[in-house]
Structure 1
Amino acid sequence: MSDRPTTDAGPPGRPPRRTGRLHWPAVVPFFAFLALCFGLPAGALVYGAFTATDPATGNSHATLDNVRQSLKGIYATGLGGSVQLSLICAVLATLFGTLIAQAVVGSRRPALRRAVVAASGVLANFSGAPLAFAFVATLGTTGTLTRLLSLDRTGFSLYTTAGLVLAYLYFMIPLMVVTVLPALDGLRTQWREAAASCGATRGQFWRHIGIPVLLPSLLGGAVLLFGTAFASHATAAVMVGSSVPLITVQISNALAGNVLVGQENLALAMSLNMVVIALLVMAVQIPLQRRSARWLG
């Protein structure tokens, strides 16, 4: 007797249902990879966040002190600073990135679109230490533009939250352009024509049709940008160090023992706080993506 899977016709109007052998062994390597590369580190993170080690005896015991300490004092300030910086960057990058993408979509020059898309793809990945060094050489205390434009007389300083926002926008605006372009392409020409035939102006079209349809995509892009800025470390560490309180820099200092020795479990507790915020970001982004795909798919 053949062991090939059979199909069940089922009720009318529904696709046939496959019965017989399941090909689940094909996904075993994928789940093994997830367990090894994500499950074990996540388990070690949670275990270390709720564990304290006695320096005298070396014995470990469960405790909530690490989590409590990570939500108080300078560590709470660093977490709040990272959230504030991420919100500012996400809002500004969403606004400017959407305007640039709309200008590209409305242009009748394919060469312009190809150039902007190519440049955005490159600039969206230009971050970290190279970006920080580029900004220091350009807008730092002795940077080229700082001396040419005498920016030091205006009170501008790159080594502040405003300087970090400027540096983050350098790669976050191109990232938003790449993210929102497919959604703008999904706005059907028939919708514009139907609105125009009913006497609607361009502003009315965007207010009643375009923006409501694009809103899930825009919010999803903003959430993605928030997560990108929240997790960025190298740019801030090289450019401002500890002068601007950020949770990522504090975690790095705690792991390296730059402030206090033996604060590794505290760093894991701060990392756990970041993971919780990242999960909340994902919980918001996934429904927005589904709603956007329903309209623009």
Structure 2
Amino acid sequence: MTAALTRADVAPVASAKRRRRAPGWLAVVPLLVFTAIAFGLPAFAILDGAFTAKDQVTGATSYTGGNLTTSLQGPYLTALIGSVKLSAISAALGALLGLPLAQAVVSSRSRALREAVLTASGVLANFGGVPLAFAFVATLGNAGVLTVHLGLTDKGWDLYSFWGLVLVYLYFLIPLMVLTITPALDGLRVQWREAALNNGATGVQYWRHVALPVLAPSLLGGLVLLFGSAFAAYATAAAMVGSAVPLVTLQIADALSGNVLVGQENVALALSLDMVLVAGLVMAVYLPLQRRSARWLDA
């Protein structure tokens, strides 16, 4: 009798728990719907358009891989390679310069300095587009303040070039690296350094054999994140260099504005698909590194 009553009592409780869980799942539905509309539909439109060609005589459409083939040839391929090269160099320099800056912030005893640097990094990491381009043109352009006073033009300086664009990108990539790597630096245990020093290790040996191996996933993850941010940037480069530096984002803008050959109207969508594939590869590398770093630092 007791067992029967126990089962009878448990069944309503389990049923009540299931009923309480249902609203939690329903609360996710609006987010899923929004994601499907905001991301799913554009992704489907890009995928469909990238493989669609229109006959100029009959107006009929058909599926073809010609757009993708075109996007990987000639000036389009040059622009894609240029974007990858620019993003890789900018990300590497941003990570290299951002790491010691973040370490200086973490090791500082001044709480006000730490908060000021992190707040400024949050602002600067999201400062881009035409305002950033104008700021650099006014400062380091052909008639910029520093260019005139320091005679940079006579020394071969050119802001409207590949390396000038790298310098501009570092303006927001270094703060982004500071924001990305600071939590990982905070996760380094003081006991690890003390143990290394007690065993006769120098500061350089500690960083080489202890800190950097632990930070490696976070560093690589930050590098990938910086690469993706630079790869997707458009407005700053468009306002500064125009077509002087071949970039895939600028090629997409030209194609969308109709600056393409007849019958290649969907090349912009094919270029966009190329960028999506590159971004997918970036995320495929970033997410495992982020999880591995979290396991190390939370241990």
Q: Root-mean-square deviation (CA), in Å?
A: 1.7
2:216 paired residue number = 215
How many residue pairs match? The answer is 287
The code of the aligned residue for 1:276 comes to: L
Shift of 1:263: 3.7
CA distance in 1, matches of 2:43, 2:70: 20
Task: Provide the TM-score with structure 1 as the length reference.
Answer: 0.92
1:61 aligns to what SS in structure 2? strand
Q: Percent identity?
A: 62
Q: Tell me which amino acid in the other structure corresponds to 1:282.
A: M
User: 1:94-142: per-residue Cα shift (whole Å, max 9, x none)?
Assistant: 0100010011112222221112111111111111111011111111111
Distance 1:62 1:260 in 2: 19
Counterparts of 2:55 and 2:104, CA distance in 1: 61
Q: Check the 8 A contact 1:157/1:163 in 2, yes or no.
A: yes
- Residue 62 of structure 2 aligns to a residue whose secondary structure is strand
1:58 aligns with 2:66: no
- 2:187 aligned with 1:191, yes or no? no
What is the CA–CA distance in structure 1 between the aligned matches of 2:80 and 2:157, rounded to whole Å? 25
Q: Which amino acid aligns with 1:115?
A: A
Deviation at 1:199, TM superposition (A): 1.5
Note if 1:106 corresponds to 2:107. Answer: yes
Tell me if the contact between 2:67 and 2:264 (Cα under 8 Å) persists in the aligned partners: no
Matched residues in 1 for 2:165 and 2:266: separation?
A: 28
Q: Distance in 2 between matches of 1:248 and 1:213?
A: 35
The amino acid of 1:227's aligned partner reads G
Tell me, in whole angstroms, the C-alpha distance in 2 between the residues paired with 1:146 and 1:280. 39
Q: As a proportion of its length, which structure holds more helix?
A: 2
SS where residue 132 of structure 1 aligns? helix
1:75 and 1:51 mapped to 2: Cα distance?
A: 18
**AA in 1 matched with 2:35:** L
Which amino acid is the alignment partner of residue 257 of structure 1? Answer: G
Q: Secondary structure at the match of 1:163?
A: helix
Task: For structure 1, list consecutive stretches of 5 or more residues without a partner in the other structure.
Answer: 8-17
In structure 1, what is the equivalent of residue 121 of structure 2? 120
Contact 2:55 2:263 survives alignment (8 Å): no
* Cα-to-partner distance string for 1:204-248 (whole Å, 9 max, x where unaligned): 111110000000000000000000000000000010001100000
What are structure 2's unaligned runs of at least 5 residues? 1-7
Match of 1:253 in 2: 254
Q: Is the 8 A contact 1:4 1:20 kept in 2?
A: no
Between 53-62 and 177-186, the greater mean CA deviation after superposition: 53-62
Deviates more, 1:271-280 or 1:198-207: 198-207
